[in-house]
Amino acid sequence: MHTLQHPPKKKEISCRLTRTLLFYVREQNNGLLGDLLSGLPLNEAYLLDTNNWISHELLQVLYRRMIEMLGDENAVYHMALASRRFRSMGFLDRVARLLDNPRLIYSQAPIYNRFLKLNGSVYIHEIGSSRVLLEDRYHDSRQKTRFDCDYTRGIIAGIPTMFGLPLADVEEIECQVAAAKYGPRTWPDKPRQDCKGCFYRVRWIPKKPFFLKRFFLGAKNRQQAVEDLVQANRLIQAKYDEVKALMQDLERTNRDLLESKREMENQRALLMDSERKYRLLAENVSDIIWVVSLDTLAFDYISPAVKKQRGFTAEEAMALSLEQSMSSESFVRVTKILEAELARDNQPGIDPQRTVTVEVEQSLKGGGYTWSEATVSFVRDAKGKPTAIMGATRNISERKKAQQALIESEKKYRDLFENGSDLICLHDLDGQLLETNLAYKEEYGWSKEHLQGVNIREFIPERYRAEFDAYMERILEKGSDEGYLKTYASSGEEVLLEYHNRLIIDDRGRPKAVQGAARDVTERLRYEKALKESEEKYRNLVQHAPAGIYEFDMQTAKFISVNEVICEYTGFSRDELLEMDPYSLLCEESKDTLDQLINRVYRETPRELSAEYKFAGKNGQEFWVLANFRFFYNDGVPKLAMAVVHDLTEIKNAETEKKALEAKLQNAKKLELLGTLAGGVAHDLNNILSGIVSYPDLLLLDLDADSPLRKPLLTIKQSGLKASAIVQDLLTLARRNVAIKNVIDLNKFVKDFVATPECLKIVGYHPDITLETDLGKGLCHVYGSESHLSKTVMNLVSNAADAMPAGGTISIATRDFYLDRSYTGFEVVPQGEYAILEVSDTGIGMIHSDLEKIFEPFYTRKAQGRSGTGLGMSVVWGTVKDHDGYIDITTEEGTGTTFTLYFPASRSELPESAPIRIDDYLGKGESILIVDDSPEQRDLIGRMMQRLGYAADKADSGETAVAMAADKNYDLMILDMIMPPGIDGLETYRRVLEKVPHQKAVIASGYSKSDRVEAAQRLGAGSYIKKPFTLEKIGIAVRNELDR
Mean pLDDT within 684-693? 69
Q: How many CA atoms lie within 13 A of 856 on its CB side?
A: 16
pLDDT at 692: 74
What confidence tens digit (pLDDT) does each residue in 541-579 have?
556 666 888 898 988 889 988 888 888 888 898 888 888
Q: Which of 537-546, 687-696, 704-713, 809-818 has the highest mean pLDDT?
A: 809-818
What percentage of the chain has pLDDT greater than the value 70? 77
- Summarize the confidence of residues 213-225 as an average pLDDT: 51
CA distance 26 to 93: 22
Q: Is residue 218 scored above 70 in pLDDT? A: no
Query: What are 98-123's pLDDT values in tens digits?
Result: 666 888 888 888 888 888 888 888 99
For residue 93, count other CB atoms closer than 10 A to its CB. 20
pLDDT tens-digit series, residues 392-401? 898 888 888 7
The whole-number pLDDT of residue 281 equals 30
pLDDT at 402: 65
Confidence at residue 1009, expressed as pLDDT on a 0 to 100 scale: 73
Quote the mean pLDDT of the chain.
80
Q: Give the confidence band of 204 by pLDDT, cuts at 50, 70, 90.
A: very high
Instruction: Express each pLDDT in 3-35 by its tens digit.
Output: 344 455 578 899 999 999 999 999 999 989 999
pLDDT at 249: 62
Given a cut of 70, whether residue 412 has pLDDT beyond it is no
- The pLDDT score that the predictor gives to residue 937 is 87
Query: What is the number of other CB atoms lying within 10 angstroms of the CB of residue 330?
Result: 21
Average pLDDT of span 860-887:
73
pLDDT at 970: 95
CA–chain centroid gap for 252, Å, is 69
Judged by DSSP in three states, 969 sits in coil
Given this model, what pLDDT does residue 420 score? 61
Least confident stretch, 525-539, 880-894, 903-917, 940-954: 525-539
DSSP 305-332: THHHHHS--HHHHHHS-TTTTB-HHHHH
Q: In whole angstroms, what separates CA 712 from the centre of its chain?
A: 78
* The CATH classification of domain 277-397, taken from the options 3.40.50.300, 3.40.190.10, 3.30.450.20, 3.40.50.2300: 3.30.450.20
CA nearest 561: which of 546, 571, 544, 575? 575
Mean pLDDT of 659-671: 70
* Per-residue burial over 533-566, b = 16 or more CB atoms within 10 Å of its CB, e = otherwise: eeeeeeeeebeeeebbbbbbebeeeebebbbebb
User: What pLDDT does 96 receive?
Assistant: 62
pLDDT classification of 284: cutoffs 50, 70, 90: very low
- The model's pLDDT over 728-785, given as tens digits with 9 standing for 90+, comes to 666 655 554 555 578 888 888 898 888 888 888 888 888 899 999 999 887 888 988 8
CATH C-level class of 421-520: alpha beta
Query: What pLDDT is attached to residue 6?
Result: 46
Q: Once rounded to an integer, what is the mean pLDDT over residues 84-109?
A: 74
CA distance 638 to 608: 12
User: Is residue 881 over pLDDT 60?
Assistant: yes
pLDDT of residue 101: 81
Q: What is the mean pLDDT of residues 650-669?
A: 74
**pLDDT computed for residue 786 by the predictor:** 81
Task: Please tell me the class of the 532-635 domain.
Answer: alpha beta
Task: With H, G, I as helix, E, B as strand and everything else as coil, classify residue 526.
Answer: helix
Q: Residue 72, Cα to own-chain centre: how many angstroms?
A: 41
Q: Which of 279, 256, 259, 292 is nearest to 374 (CA)?
A: 292
pLDDT tens-digit series, residues 338-364: 888 888 887 888 888 889 999 999 999
139-153, 205-219, 487-501, 1001-1015: range with lowest mean pLDDT: 205-219
In whole angstroms, what separates CA 862 from the centre of its chain? Answer: 45
Instruction: Look at 700 and 107; give whichever has higher pLDDT.
Output: 107
Domain covering 737-904, topology: Heat Shock Protein 90 (3.30.565)
Average pLDDT over residues 317-327: 89
Tell me which fold the domain 918-1043 belongs to: Rossmann fold (3.40.50)
**321, 297 contact by CB (below 8 A):** yes
561: nearest Cα among 527, 587, 533, 535: 535
- Interhelix angle 757-765/786-802, rounded to 10 degrees, is 0
User: How does pLDDT run across 891-927, given as a tens digit for each residue?
Assistant: 888 889 999 999 998 877 776 655 678 888 889 999 9
pLDDT at residue 303 in the model: 85
Strands 828-829 and 832-841: unpaired
Q: Give the whole-angstrom CA distance, residue 705 versus residue 691.
A: 22
Share of the chain above pLDDT 90, in %: 25
Statement: the pTM of the whole predicted model exceeds 0.85: no
pLDDT confidence of residue 93: 67
Q: Which residues, including other chains, have CB under 8 Å from residue 385's CB and lie 6 or more apart?
A: none
For position 1, what pLDDT does the model report? 37
Contacts of 337 (CB under 8 A, 6+ apart): 356, 358
